[in-house]
Amino acid sequence: AGSRDLAGTRVIITAGGTREPIDPVRFIGNRSSGKQGVALAEAARDRGADVVLIGANLEVAPPVGVDFVPVSTVAELRDGVVSRSPDADIVVMAAAVSDYRPVTVATTKMKKDAEGDSFSIELTANPDILAELGQRQHPRPVLVGFAAETEADAGELIARGAGKAERKNADLIAVNRVDEGRGFGAADNEVTIVDRYGEVHARAAGSKREVADAILAAARGVRA
């Protein structure tokens, strides 16, 4: 604490969980609260960075002293990140991004009498924002993604994180175990920060703020 090691650094954090509309009142969403991303934004601010927080449906208030961009859908999140990333030194994709969205969005509320006892919603793949950022020409920002895993032992978690870093051309992946008391919605988190070679840059277990500081220190280390 107290270190201003990110002074003069421009950091973009995505946080929260996207919502893809089905009709005017319904959506496909996820259990991300935004707490880890908000903790990252606070930690980056306190380390002296200029912070843009792109927040999707946050359950917690955005911190003061950061540039807050509220979004809801993947398309909005993508626009927010891609338009700003050329100016960024570090991008941390903490948001839980929906992999799919409905092909069509009903313009009026869907009704049970019209749909009957069962019906299907056709989904189409969303763009992978982290992978898209990873494809950009150099110089590009240090890219940090997350991988939420519900099972697997420690070695398997590292392998999955390394595979994700390789596929998306990310510098670091913070693999976090999401189960009772950790991960989505919880106060605490546990992450292993790995690169594409499976090298472990840091491990952190504790408050989301402690985890945030470990992630930022690792990101800074990538091009230090």
Scanning residues 156 to 195, which ones bind ligand C5P (CB under 6 A)?
A: 164
Closest approach of Cβ 109 to ligand C5P, in Å? 27
* Of 165, 171, 18, 33, the residue nearest 80 (C-alpha): 18
Of the candidates 95, 22, 34, which has an alpha carbon nearest to the alpha carbon of residue 63? 34
Q: How far apart are the first and last CA of the chain?
A: 19
Q: Among 37-45, 109-117, 123-131, 203-211, which window interacts with ligand C5P (CB under 6 A)?
A: 123-131
Say if residue 117 carries a ligand binding annotation. Answer: no
Nearer to ligand C5P, 69 or 93 (CB): 93
16: DSSP letter: E
Per the annotation, the verdict on 30 as an active-site residue is yes
Binding mask 93-122 toward ligand C5P (x if CB under 6 A, else -) reads x-x-x-x-----------------------
Please tell me whether residue 128 binds ligand C5P under the rule CB under 6 A: yes
12 is in an annotated binding site: no
* Alpha carbon distance 6, 196 (integer Å): 24
121-147 burial by CB neighbour count: b if 16+ within 10 A, else e? eeeeebebbbeebbeeeeebbbbbbbb
Binding site for ligand C5P (CB under 6 A): 93, 95, 97, 99, 126, 128-130, 145-147, 164
Annotated binding site for CTP: 99, 109, 127-130, 146, 164, 168
Residues with catalytic roles: 30
